[in-house]
Structures are given as C-alpha cells and as structure tokens.
A and B are shown apart, each in its own frame.
Chain A
C-alpha cells in the first residue's frame, strides 16, 4: 500500500513538474472555412515552427504546447474556443487568425490580459490606447493598400487625368478593414475612386460585379478577398475581356494564384508580406531543412512562411518574458514591446513594437506575376503617420 501511494506521489510530482516545463499557447486557425485556402498553410507553418522551436531549446528549456483548434472562420466558434482556452486550458497567449473574430474579441482580450497575435493585419488593432494586447507580424492592410495606390499613381502613364480605381472587397470585417483608409488616401493622392464592389464570403461568379465596374471604366482594381476569390475574379475578368489591371492584398496573393488563374493572373500585382517559399534569404534555411526532414512531398507557399515568422516573433517574446521572470499575460505583452527591429533573417521585414504603437513595420513589398512567377516589383517605406494609427 505504502509502495503504491509513494509511487503515485512520485508520478504526480513528475507530472506537475512536466506541466511546469510546458508553456501553453492557444491556436485558433481556419482549416475548413472560407479563408482556409490561406489558413491551412499558415497553420501548418505555425505547427512546424513550434515543433522546430521545441527541438531547438524551446523557451529557455521549456517546451511550447500548442493547443490548436479549427474554427472555420465563424466568429461564434472563435468566441467559444477563446473561452475554452482561457478558462479551461489557461493558455498564456493566443495565435489567432481572422479580422472579424479578433476585432470582436479585442475588449475581452484586454480584460483578460491575454496577448493575442492575429494573422489579421487590420489597422484597427494597432493602437495600444484601445487594443494594448493585440499584435501581428506585417504591415497593416491599410498601409498595404496605400502603398499599392502609390504604385498605381506611378504606374499610370496618362498624365492628362487621374487614374480610376475600383475596390473589390468581401462582405466581412477583413474585407472592409482598409477601405476607409483607401478612400481617404485616394483623395489625398489624386486618384479617382470610381467604384466599390462587394462580394459575398464565398462566391462562384463575380460577373455582375465586374460588369458594374466596367461601366464605371476603372483602370485599376484592388481585390480584398483571399486567393480563391481572387482567382475567380481574375478569371471572370479575363472572360469578359476587361482591360483593368488588378492588385491584391496580403492574403490574396501567393504562389497558388498563377496556378489556378493561369493566364488571367499575368501582370497582376499584389502585396507580399513574406518571401515566397524557398527564396534565397538567410532565414529560409531552417524552413527548408525542416521541410525536407519531415514532409518533403508537400508543397509550401508564402503563407507557410508567414506562420513561421509568427512563431519566431512570439517565441522571442516568450523567451524575454521568461528571462525577466514574468511569464504571464502582462509580462509577455511587455516583452513584445521590447522588440525593436527584431530581425527575421529576411523572411519578412524586421518588427518593432512600442507601448504607444503596435504597427510592427511600415515596409510594403509589391510583387508582380511575370511569366507565372512572383517577382518583386517595388518596395515602399510608408510614413509612420500618427493620424494613420488605428485607421
């Protein structure tokens, strides 16, 4: 009897010691919903990066346990998952996904002091006076749109009039996020915003919206939906023989676009936040090695790389918080705000967070599809204007 109870005691101690060696991080991903075309590779990137981190020393020796869930891009599911992760699983921070749910949870996250790193680049999450616990890795959607509009102004050769631009966006928070910023920037830069077309979350056919746009005679159009929707729009535009030049957002532009849209994707520009998979930059080596070792038959794209960059950033924050002895929500938030020009080996631009500004970077890379390949067209350094914080 004594032997059994002491054995049990030892086991319990070992288990709790094991538990103390673990840091729980929540993951809310879209693997099956309307943004799963980019959500799945991103989630895989996060998982792989967590595994790689654990193999390479973890967080100062402690292992990360990713508690991940698929919420199908449905806000109620995200809220339920959040409640479960914070209430039951007691995660220290969450790697979230969509604009709608992240913006919906921002008040709760602030109350519960849970750092929430979202895949969403919505500018509404960058003002620490309103959303001190929200972070992300990349330029805001709004800065991206502004940079693209600047490119439009430079690309438009006819000096006799302003270029005419149309916005295509999805009927959700993600789609609408940069639109107001875009409208104002068009006015400031002398671009005529002639049309705004809304598409539903999932759609087969964008012909009537494109025909509307054709009537208004837009020279350029910006598409703010994920890659599947962008392909549909490009193909339909090609079928209608439209001369409009299209540009796409950071979640609507990647290696899959020339594959699915084929010749309709030629010449299309887009914002690339991370480099394409396999690009020759110093940070890519560990990704390529991990991929070769663990799933050499899979293909990867820029969204997979994005997942990796996220883990690299927040694991650094966790390390710093742990070293300072403050491994809790507030401590991790503070640790994020110590990151200054944190280098990611060229995978994406270096990130900086301060207690008054959560915009990690204002560098925007515009790529263009030439001969079915993603080639870098121009890099813009957008100004860090205070009136653009939070818009």
Chain B
C-alpha cells in the first residue's frame, strides 16, 4: 500500500510539471492553431538562462527568475514574428515541421553555448524530505506543486476575466470575427507565444532546482508532454492540467508495477499506449472540442 501511495504522490508531483509544459502547448494551440514542438526547448532554454544568471551573474533568485521570464517573453515574441508569421495559412504539416526545425535549432544553440555537461545548480531547497503521514516527500516537489497550482489559478482567472485573456479565447474561436470586432490578432499571437514561453521557463526552472542541475536531457520533456496534450485535448486548459496529472501517475504506476516484468522501459512507453487507446475511443482527446468538418 505504501508503495502504491509513494508512486501516486510522485506521479502527481511529476505530473504537475507536465501540466505546466502542456499548458504552454495548449495556450499556443488555442489562440493560433499551431502545435509547438519546440515547447521542450523553451523549458530547456529557460532553465539554462536562469542558471547562467544565478551562477555567473550572481543575481539572487527572485530577480533572476523575473529576468528569465523577461528573456522568455522576448524569445516568444521574436519566434512568433520571424518564424510563425510567414506560415499562416500553410498546411499543418509545414507548421509541424517548422516547429520541429525550430526545436532542433534551439537545442543546438543551447548545446553550442553551454555544452552538454551537467551544470550544478546551487541548492534552493534542501534535500531532506518532509514526512506526510508514512511517506517522505521531497521538499522541492511540494514547492513545485504549489507553484503550479498558483500558476494554474492565475491563468484560469486570466482567461476568464482579463481582457487580453478573453481576446485570446475569441481569436481561438474565429480569427476573422475577432478582427472585425477590433481585436488585433497579431498582438494576440505574440502574447500567446510569450505566455507559453514564460510558463515553460517556469517549468524548466522548477525542474532544474529539483534535480540540482541542468543538462540537455530536459528537452525530452517536450516529447513526453505530447501524450498529455492529446489525452487532455489540444484546446482545453483544464484538460492539460488533468492530462498532466494523469500521465504522471500512469507513468509511475506503470514503471513501478510493470518494469520488473518487462525489464525496464515501460515508464516511457506507457503514456503512448494510453494515448492510442484514448484516441481510439475519443478522437479529440478527453476534453477537446470536436471539430466539425464541412466540405
């Protein structure tokens, strides 16, 4: 029982980070219809920039965090303008390939500047676990769960009540109508990319502090969050959150119970098997909007 609970808690916490990155995906998709395969690289870049600011410029944590967010905002704006703007209207496969190409470029830039060493991050949280009932839970995990919760609440409120948030939802529904209502669709695209980049950077910083170091493998997370957004539905924020938690738990439970049978590797495959099964039953994900096609 304890084994199961431990796996569950670990899964929920890892799932929080997945939710965060998935949110970035969903925000971009919801407003501009593009699936951004470079989301994992936003996370990577955010983590590395944070590390560089903290370690080399010796800036304390909070201002460094704000600087990292500023950088991510800039990154999102630049990428949207330079790369994605010319591709409006192109078939979806071109858009997928552009973001894949972008992810390669970003990953290569990170590798070129910082190399592939693990760079140690000085400890933000101590490694001593906190006891919740019978289970030791890492301090870093609790902080990240808390931060994710705060971010999620903030974003949900933003989309519901803030003017830019409502404008983003309108643009997602119909770009032409939004334009005729006076919403600058261009600005909305730029805003959505910036928010997505910032959210990913937050995830990257959290992951880095939890793991104690930064290295190139953080980008793998981008690939892992694909099942999350599909399971949750590409245009649902609630779906992204739920999907992240679900996939995190599924991964850990599969790893814990099935790894000994198969000799390892089940953890990585399980989310994708779940993906296929869910898609067969609900082709638009659990919470996604069903697209009505007209000829």
Across the interface, A239 reaches (CB within 8 A) one of B7, B136, B213, namely B136
A277 → chain B closest CB, angstroms: 16
Cβ-closest chain A residue relative to B213: A260
Q: Please, which residues of chain B bring their CB within 8 A of the CB of A197?
A: 259, 264
Total CB contacts across the A-B interface at under 8 A: 96
Q: Please, which residues of chain B bring their CB within 8 A of the CB of A214?
A: 3
Q: Please, which residues of chain A bring their CB within 8 A of the CB of B169?
A: none
- Quick one: CB contact mask for A209-228 with B, threshold 8 Å, 1 for yes? 10110110000000000011
Asked if A346 is an interface residue, CB under 8 A from chain B, the answer is no
Cβ-closest chain A residue relative to B14: A205
Q: Which of A19-59 contact B (CB under 8 A)?
A: 31-34, 36-37, 40
- Quick one: CB contact mask for B114-147 with A, threshold 8 Å, 1 for yes? 0111101001000101000000101011000000
- Quick one: CB contact mask for B207-225 with A, threshold 8 Å, 1 for yes? 1000111010110110000
Q: Please, which residues of chain B bring their CB within 8 A of the CB of A200?
A: 264-265, 267-268
Identify whether the interface residues of A are mostly helix, strand, loop, or mixed: helix
Contact A239 B138 (CB under 8 A): yes
The interface on chain A, measured as residues whose beta carbon lies within 8 A of the other chain's beta carbons, has a size of 39
Asked if A10 is an interface residue, CB under 8 A from chain B, the answer is no
B139 → chain A closest CB, angstroms: 8
Contact A208 B212 (CB under 8 A): no
Give Cα A204 to B141, complex, Å.
14
Asked if A262 is an interface residue, CB under 8 A from chain B, the answer is yes
- Quick one: CB contact mask for A231-248 with B, threshold 8 Å, 1 for yes? 110010011110000000
Asked if A68 is an interface residue, CB under 8 A from chain B, the answer is no
Contact A263 B127 (CB under 8 A): yes
Q: Which of A238-296 contact B (CB under 8 A)?
A: 238-241, 256, 259-264
Contact B211 A232 (CB under 8 A): yes
Q: Would A228 and B252 be within 8 Å (CB), given that A208-B10, A239-B136 are in contact? A: no
Contact A40 B259 (CB under 8 A): no
Most buried by B among A207, A208, A215, A235: A208
Asked if A171 is an interface residue, CB under 8 A from chain B, the answer is yes
Q: Would A209 and B116 be within 8 Å (CB), given that A228-B215, A262-B212 are in contact? A: no
Give Cα A83 to B218, complex, Å.
33
Contact B117 A40 (CB under 8 A): yes
- Quick one: CB contact mask for B254-266 with A, threshold 8 Å, 1 for yes? 0110011001110
Asked if B156 is an interface residue, CB under 8 A from chain A, the answer is no
Across the interface, B129 reaches (CB within 8 A) one of A34, A199, A209, A239, namely A239
Q: Please, which residues of chain A bring their CB within 8 A of the CB of B207?
A: 204
Q: Please, which residues of chain A bring their CB within 8 A of the CB of B129?
A: 239-241
Across the interface, A231 reaches (CB within 8 A) one of B123, B138, B212, B256, namely B212
Asked if B111 is an interface residue, CB under 8 A from chain A, the answer is yes
Asked if A202 is an interface residue, CB under 8 A from chain B, the answer is yes
Q: Please, which residues of chain B bring their CB within 8 A of the CB of A256?
A: 118
Contact A235 B220 (CB under 8 A): no
Q: Please, which residues of chain A bring their CB within 8 A of the CB of B263?
A: 198
Q: Would A238 and B116 be within 8 Å (CB), given that A209-B255, A211-B3, A212-B256 are in contact? A: no
Q: Which residues of A contact B (CB under 8 A)?
A: 31-34, 36-37, 40, 171, 197-200, 202-205, 207-209, 211-212, 214-215, 227-228, 231-232, 235, 238-241, 256, 259-264
Question: What are 12 A-to-B residue pairs whose CB atoms are below 8 Å?
Answer: A31-B116, A32-B111, A33-B116, A171-B265, A198-B264, A200-B267, A208-B255, A228-B118, A228-B215, A240-B136, A240-B138, A262-B212
Listed from nearest, the 5 A-B pairs whose CB atoms lie closest are A198-B264, A208-B255, A239-B138, A241-B136, A202-B217
